Amino acid sequence: MSTYSLEHKEYLKKIRKEKIVVTFFRFLIILIFLIGWELLSHFKLINTFLSSSPSKVFSTMLSLFADGSLFRHIGITLYEVLLSFIIATVIGIVVSIILWSRPIISKIIDPYLTILNSLPKVALGPLIIIWVGASINSIIFMALLISTFITIINIYSGFISTDKGYITLLRSLKANKRQIFTKVIWPSNYMTIINALKINISMNLIGVIMGELLVSKSGLGYLIMYGSQVFNIDLVITSVVILAIISYLMYFIIDKIEVIVLNKNS
């Protein structure tokens, strides 16, 4: 026998209906875009040499798959993104904890975080190659430069924006900093951290592609660079489409983690 009230059943029904509508229109937008793109290219309303077409993108994917290079390039880019993502996340959380627990340190380095975050990372590309060599190290370093500082800023901002009432209450009960952090700061910032991860994964993807454009001989960034050098626009756009798919899948995974965290703490 169901223990849900009629109002709760109606609410759940409304939520399920909303999810279906959102999912439907998400796919509809993509479908309309692809059909429109294909029709415009088919009837020569756009220059396919400059814009390619969905059918040519699909054909290029099949060609890359046939010669065995598709998953190799995807795998290399994924490895670099995930590695830099993990490192940036760990650094971001650890540094944010240190800044929260030591306000004097925060006051000292706060302007430097802003300055480092605003530096034009692409302009540092040649220096990065000189510093760490023309290898995967340069790619990871570039990704970390782009993602780490913004991760620290976002997570730390969440920590210091936590409701002061809870902190005051725990202090009145003689709680120490560790107890305040574990009982209030960390639980109150689950969503802040999840949102920081969403930004982090996109920033790492951008950083890795920028790094691959500079030094890599494999990966999706390399395919984009190679395609542009030989005027193979189909290859360039195919690589961009694959990147968009990877970005969506990573966002989807983090979004599911967010749902699990919300359900666990609801």
Residues 58 and 42 in one domain: no
Calculate mean pLDDT across residues 30-47: 91
Query: Using CA atoms, how far apart are residues 141 and 147, in angstroms rounded to an integer?
Result: 10
Calculate mean pLDDT across residues 83-102: 94
Calculate mean pLDDT across residues 40-69: 89
Residues 80 and 160 in one domain: yes
Residues 108 and 230 in one domain: yes
Answer whether residue 250 shows pLDDT above 70: yes
Considering its fold, how many domains does the chain have in total?
2
Q: What is the pLDDT of residue 241?
A: 92
Query: Using CA atoms, how far apart are residues 128 and 106, in angstroms rounded to an integer?
Result: 27
Residues 139 and 20 in one domain: no
Q: Report how far apart, in Å, the C-alpha atoms of 259 and of each of 11, 90, 191, 255, 263 are.
A: 17, 22, 10, 6, 6
Between 48 and 237, the more confident residue is 237
Residues 33 and 165 in one domain: no
Q: State which residues form the domain around 11.
A: 1-46
Residues 259 and 154 in one domain: yes
Residues 71 and 123 in one domain: yes
pLDDT tens-digit series, residues 106-128? 999 988 988 888 888 877 888 88
Residues 4 and 110 in one domain: no
Residues 42 and 151 in one domain: no
Residue 254: count other Cβ atoms within 10 Å of its Cβ: 15
pLDDT tens-digit series, residues 162-199? 888 888 888 888 888 899 998 899 988 988 999 998 88
Mean pLDDT rounded to a whole number for the chain: 88
pLDDT tens-digit series, residues 222-244? 999 999 988 899 999 999 999 98
Phi and psi torsions of 215, nearest 5°:
-130, -15
Residue type at position 205:
L
Residues 258 and 190 in one domain: yes
CATH code of the domain in which 191 resides: 1.10.3720.10
| Residue from 87, 84, 96 nearest 193 by CA | 96
Q: What is the pLDDT of residue 1?
A: 45
Residues 6+ apart with CB under 8 A from 240: 224
Residues 97 and 174 in one domain: yes
Residue type at position 53:
S
DSSP 222-245: HHHHHHHHTT-HHHHHHHHHHHHH
Residues 173 and 260 in one domain: yes
Query: Using CA atoms, how far apart are residues 86 and 83, in angstroms rounded to an integer?
Result: 5
DSSP class of 166: H
Query: Using CA atoms, how far apart are residues 261 and 128, in angstroms rounded to an integer?
Result: 38
